[in-house]
Amino acid sequence: MGKSHAVENPLQPNLTVADSDSSKFSWCKSPATGLPGQPLLDYKVRDDRFPENYLDHIETSDADIILVSTHKELLEGLVARGLDFFLVYPSRDQKDEYLVRCTVRGSSLQFIAMLDQMWNSFINDIENFNLPPDRKVVLRPGQFLSDVIEAIWMIGQVTPSSATRRG
């Protein structure tokens, strides 16, 4: 999608764009355990505070634009809290393109395999999410978030509320 590029190259010098990684809120370290004489185990478990902790983070962010996850429960939480947002996502037929993008950027094989397996489910969840069509932006092949973010920002500037925009 190009989230890192959008964060590192904002539309305007005084505009702040944040990429809010949901994994920092959906997972937490489990208490270290181990057998006597064995190294302690350090592993993560699902944080039962998710998605509320993530939504709290989004609501209190000072960023002008916040790039967030599209977890279904998160999207429902954004609506429940009255936060206006846009959904930007690739078209269903771009699966191979996105698998290559993930490989090139150095994503783990585990992540790439999960994306490969879950692609249609992820796209289904987004397509079926009840949001006005003018709040959904489908990226075309070869298109990145940075190609559409300015238009989204401008729409947010002239409407009473904004998508993932603060200010």
| Confidence band of 167 (pLDDT split at 50, 70, 90) | very low
Q: 59-111 pLDDT, tens per residue?
A: 998 888 888 888 888 899 999 999 889 999 999 999 999 999 999 989 999 99
Q: Is the dihedral of CA 53, 55, 123, 64 positive or negative?
A: negative
Specify whether the CB–CB gap between 115 and 101 falls below 8 A: no
Burial of 131 (0-12, 13-18, 19+ CB in 10 A): middle
Torsion of CA 24, 28, 34, 40, to 10 degrees: 30
Task: Report the pLDDT value the prediction gives residue 20, as an integer from 0 to 100.
Answer: 77
* pLDDT at 24 > cutoff 70: yes
pLDDT over 50 (residue 160): no
Check residue 10 and give its pLDDT.
Answer: 63
